[in-house]
Amino acid sequence: MPQNSVAGIIGASSIKFGTSGARGLVSDFSSDVSAAFAIAFVEALKTQNINVERIALGIDRRPSSPDLAASIAGGLQAIGCHVDYYGILPTPALALQSLSEKIPAIMVTGSHIPFDRNGIKFYRPTGEITKLDESLIVSQQALLPAFNPFLPSESDVAQTTYIQRYVAPFPKNALQGLRVGVYEHSSAGRAISKSILNALGADVVSLGKTDVFVPIDTEAVSEEDQLQAKIWAKEHNLDAIFSTDGDGDRPLISDEHGNWLKGDVVGMLCAKYIAADALSVPVSCNSAIETYTQIPVTRTKIGSPYVIEAMANQVSSFKVVAGFEANGGFLCASPFTLNGVPFKELPTRDAVLPLITLLNCTQEKGVTLSQLVDKLPPRFTASDRIQNLPSDLSESLIEVWSFNLETFLETFHLQQSVLNVCTRDGLRVSLDNGQIVHLRPSGNAPELRCYCESYTQSDANLLLSSMLQKLLTCFNSSN
């Protein structure tokens, strides 16, 4: 393999595809590596007879993102591709523009992963790339041309299109009377979120805006953010608080008390509101989904490519096919009608649709968000992660436990009998007392994820705390 081939450059780097895009340390995203990924993407599309004359490009607010985007734009220009640059915007806004224009897109974002890392997401003219596309990208033999990094002039068309998507189906006063806090931090979609809420009549309160990048993880909300939400809710008399991860595709929504709602709870409520008749969700999502929605649900490995693949298999059999993840990102694989207005599909994670549907649902039913959630089946989840943990170490231990469940039960002092074991993605064990524990190495960073489920939130929290403490003991003794 020639060293200056794009496949050679990618292979020699430490940048790898994870559950959503190519991710790695900023220090490994050299100008050549960034350009090589973009050129390899174009070459991979060409092998599938997709002509690439234009590509949409966007970024998040990470300090490293403009430089990565400049290298990508320079590399694309060198092979004759025109770049439509949309600057800082949510990933779903860029994806929507890509679908509308029927052109590919590249988003520079590390989403929620730590500050010293970044990533690149790729979109075909029809939506997110698949795992097959990832394999094609890393195997392209085209040579890297000489190029000069640059950022084209910026357009706001994609942002305008995205705002209109959520404003059009509802009257201007749809959210009148609601006070909604927007926890801005460094989210790529903070300005857009406020614009949409204002356009629908909500009283918007700006919270926590910062110029320093904050890696918000909607599946592992920090104790500080949990406490701060409660303070904000009381101080500002809020009906809800809205935030997202770094690139605006995973929602973080609190009720009127400042309690952050779980992403799969948000997904259930959103799916019900849009009258979905088939769902695809990762295996880590709340087991109450089937009970609450009463529609066919396909369980997948964790990661949007797997959810998208499963939804694609459902589209021919069902009218309104959707999906979501435990992180809250909601995906629509088919068009549907929202409040009597035709609503186009957007088969990539999105944070705004769940927000708008939940708030409108409370308005229509005359209830608060907490009252809406209280009507769900009594299944509660808790999740967290152990960071800076080598993936090979966590993978080896999970492999051992998967083949020896007695050792697993003894290690974590679990006295119950095992009802079911799922190794589709990590190790997920259902116990006869109704509790579930799920261990899985992250596909995006050196982290181990732990998911727990029980009949009460306090029991789920206690189980999670116990699992994490014993996991740390295991890993410390393994070093």
Query: What length does the chain have?
Result: 479
Of 26 and 1, the one with more pLDDT: 26
Kindly give the interhelix angle for 190-199 and 352-365, rounded to the nearest 10 degrees. Answer: 30
Domain topology for 176-374 = Alpha-D-Glucose-1,6-Bisphosphate; Chain A, domain 3 (3.40.120)
Q: Where are the domains of the chain?
A: 6-155, 176-374, 380-478
Query: Within 127-243, where are the H helices?
Result: 131-137, 157-167, 190-199, 223-235
Weakest-pLDDT range from 140-149, 350-359, 460-469, 470-479: 470-479
CATH for 380-478 is 3.30.310.50
Q: What is the pLDDT of residue 479?
A: 62
Q: What is the pLDDT of residue 153?
A: 97
Q: What is the pLDDT of residue 444?
A: 65
Count of CB atoms situated within 10 Å of the CB of 377 = 14
Please indicate whether the domains covering 176-374 and 380-478 agree at the CATH topology level.
no
CA dihedral 92→96→101→107, nearest 10 degrees, is 0
DSSP tag of 171: -
Contacts of 356 by beta carbon, 8 Å cutoff, 6+ apart: 166, 170, 196, 200
> H/E element holding 240?
strand 240-244
DSSP tag of 127: E
> pLDDT > 90: what percent of the chain?
82
The structure tokens listed for 373 are: 């959630």
Contacts of 278 by beta carbon, 8 Å cutoff, 6+ apart: 295, 296, 297, 298, 314, 317, 318, 320, 321, 322
Domain 6-155 has CATH 3.60.40.10: no
Distance of CA 106 to the CA centre of its chain: 16
Q: What is the pLDDT of residue 15?
A: 94
Q: What is the pLDDT of residue 226?
A: 95
Q: What is the pLDDT of residue 3?
A: 64
Q: What is the pLDDT of residue 2?
A: 59
- How confident is the model over 167-202, as pLDDT tens digits? 999 998 999 999 999 999 999 999 999 999 999 999
Interatomic CA distance for residues 168 and 119, integer angstroms: 32
The structure tokens listed for 249 are: 């595709």
**Kind of pairing, strands 251-254 and 240-244?**
antiparallel
Mean of pLDDT over the chain:
93
Average pLDDT over residues 321-336: 95
* pTM given for the model: 0.91
Q: Which residue matches tokens 């960071």?
A: 387
Does the pLDDT of residue 355 top 90, yes or no?
yes
Of 255 and 392, the one with more pLDDT: 255
Average pLDDT over residues 100-122: 92
Q: DSSP letter string over 201-220? A: T-EEEEEEE-SS-----TTS
Average pLDDT over residues 363-379: 96
Does the pLDDT of residue 392 top 60, yes or no?
yes
Active site residues: 111
The sign one gets for the Cα dihedral 165, 200, 349, 283 is negative
**Could you tell me if 248 and 351 are in contact, meaning their C-beta atoms sit under 8 angstroms apart?**
yes
Interatomic CA distance for residues 328 and 217, integer angstroms: 11
Does the pLDDT of residue 1 top 60, yes or no?
no
Does the pLDDT of residue 23 top 70, yes or no?
yes
- How confident is the model over 36-62, as pLDDT tens digits? 999 999 999 999 999 899 999 999 999
Q: Which residue matches tokens 């991710």?
A: 23
Interatomic CA distance for residues 338 and 340, integer angstroms: 5
